[in-house]
Chain A
Amino acid sequence: MRELQGVAVSPGSVAAPVLVLRKRPALPPDVRTDADAASAVGDVERAIASVAAHLEAQAQEVSHDIAAVLQAQALIVGDPTLLDAIKRRIGDGSTRTDAVEDSFSEFREQLAAAGPYFADRIEDLDDLSYRIRASVLGVAMPSRVAPRSPRIIVADELAPADLVVLGPSVVGLVTQRGGATGHTAIVAKSLGIPAVVGCAGACELADDTVVLLDGGTGVVVAAPTREQVDEHLAADAASKARIGALAGPGRTADGTPVALLANLGGDHDVLAATDCEGVGLFRTEFLFLDRDDAPSFDEQVEVYSALLRSAAGRRVVFRTLDAGSDKPLGFVDVGHEPNPALGVRGYRIAAHYQELVDEQLRAVATAEQLAGATAAVMAPMVATVAEVRSFVAQARAHGLREVGVMAEVPALVLSADRVLAECDFLSIGTNDLAQYTFAADRQLDELAVLLDPWQPALLRLVSMAAEAAKRSGKSVSVCGEAASDPLLALVLAGVGVSSLSMAPVSIPAVRAALFELTMTGCQQAAQIALGAEEPAAARAGVRALLKIDG
Chain B
Amino acid sequence: MPFERRVQVGSSSGLHARPAAAFVRAAAAHPHRITIGRPDGPAVVASSILSVLGLHVGYGEEVVLTAEDELAVGALDELSALLGQDLDRED
The yes or no verdict on A and B being binding partners is: yes
Q: A290-B88, A292-B86 are in contact. Are A81 and B13 (CB under 8 A)?
A: no
In the complex, the answer to whether B54 meets A79 with C-beta atoms within 8 Å is no
Q: How far is the CA of A117 from the CA of B86 in the complex (A)?
A: 19
Q: How far is the CA of A292 from the CA of B11 in the complex (A)?
A: 7
- Report A-chain residues with C-beta under 8 Å of the C-beta of B13: 290, 328, 330
Q: A82-B50, A115-B56 are in contact. Are A292 and B12 (CB under 8 A)?
A: yes
A309 at the interface (CB under 8 A from B): no
6 more contacts with CB within 8 A, not counting A121-B53, A330-B12, A330-B59, are A79-B50, A110-B54, A115-B56, A291-B12, A292-B60, A328-B13
- Report A-chain residues with C-beta under 8 Å of the C-beta of B88: 290-291
Q: How far is the CA of A114 from the CA of B14 in the complex (A)?
A: 13
In the complex, the answer to whether A292 meets B48 with C-beta atoms within 8 Å is no
Partner of B48, one of A82, A117, A328: A82
In the complex, the answer to whether B25 meets A75 with C-beta atoms within 8 Å is yes
Q: A292-B12, A292-B86 are in contact. Are A81 and B48 (CB under 8 A)?
A: yes
Within 8 A of A (CB), among B40-66: 44-45, 47-51, 53-54, 56, 58-60
A353 at the interface (CB under 8 A from B): no
Can you name the residue of chain A whose Cβ is closest to the Cβ of B89? A290
State the interface size on chain A (CB cutoff 8 A): 24
Q: How far is the CA of A114 from the CA of B20 in the complex (A)?
A: 15
In the complex, the answer to whether A75 meets B49 with C-beta atoms within 8 Å is yes
In the complex, the answer to whether A81 meets B50 with C-beta atoms within 8 Å is yes
- Report A-chain residues with C-beta under 8 Å of the C-beta of B50: 76, 79, 81-82, 107, 110-111
In the complex, the answer to whether A76 meets B49 with C-beta atoms within 8 Å is yes
Footprint of A on B, CB under 8 Å? 10, 12-14, 16-18, 21, 24-25, 44-45, 47-51, 53-54, 56, 58-60, 86, 88-89
Instruction: Determine the main DSSP class of A at the interface with B.
Output: helix
Q: How far is the CA of A82 from the CA of B54 in the complex (A)?
A: 12
A159 at the interface (CB under 8 A from B): no
B9 to chain A, nearest CB (A): 10
B61 to chain A, nearest CB (A): 11
Q: Lowest 9 CB-CB distances: which A-B pairs, in order?
A: A81-B48, A330-B12, A110-B54, A330-B59, A114-B56, A107-B50, A291-B12, A75-B49, A81-B51
- Report A-chain residues with C-beta under 8 Å of the C-beta of B51: 79, 81
Can you name the residue of chain B whose Cβ is closest to the Cβ of A118? B53
Binary CB contact string for chain A from 286 to 312 against chain B (1 if under 8 A, 0 otherwise): 000011100000000000000000000
Q: How far is the CA of A75 from the CA of B86 in the complex (A)?
A: 21
Q: A75-B25, A79-B48, A290-B88 are in contact. Are A111 and B59 (CB under 8 A)?
A: no
A72 at the interface (CB under 8 A from B): yes
B26 to chain A, nearest CB (A): 12
Q: How far is the CA of A200 from the CA of B17 in the complex (A)?
A: 34
Q: How far is the CA of A117 from the CA of B54 in the complex (A)?
A: 11
Q: How far is the CA of A74 from the CA of B86 in the complex (A)?
A: 23
In the complex, the answer to whether A80 meets B47 with C-beta atoms within 8 Å is yes
In the complex, the answer to whether A292 meets B10 with C-beta atoms within 8 Å is yes
Interface CB pairs A-B, < 8 A, 10: A71-B21, A72-B21, A81-B44, A81-B45, A82-B48, A107-B54, A111-B50, A111-B54, A292-B59, A330-B12
Q: How far is the CA of A333 from the CA of B88 in the complex (A)?
A: 19
In the complex, the answer to whether B48 meets A80 with C-beta atoms within 8 Å is yes
Which of A80, A118, A331 lies at the interface centre, i.e. has the most chain B CB atoms within 10 A of its CB? Answer: A80
- Report A-chain residues with C-beta under 8 Å of the C-beta of B54: 107, 110-111, 114
Can you name the residue of chain A whose Cβ is closest to the Cβ of B48? A81
B30 to chain A, nearest CB (A): 13
Partner of B53, one of A114, A290, A331: A114
Q: How far is the CA of A114 from the CA of B52 in the complex (A)?
A: 12
Within 8 A of B (CB), among A263-317: 290-292
- Report B-chain residues with C-beta under 8 Å of the C-beta of A72: 17, 21, 49
Can you name the residue of chain A whose Cβ is closest to the Cβ of B88? A290
- Report B-chain residues with C-beta under 8 Å of the C-beta of A80: 45, 47-48
Q: A107-B54, A290-B88 are in contact. Are A117 and B12 (CB under 8 A)?
A: no
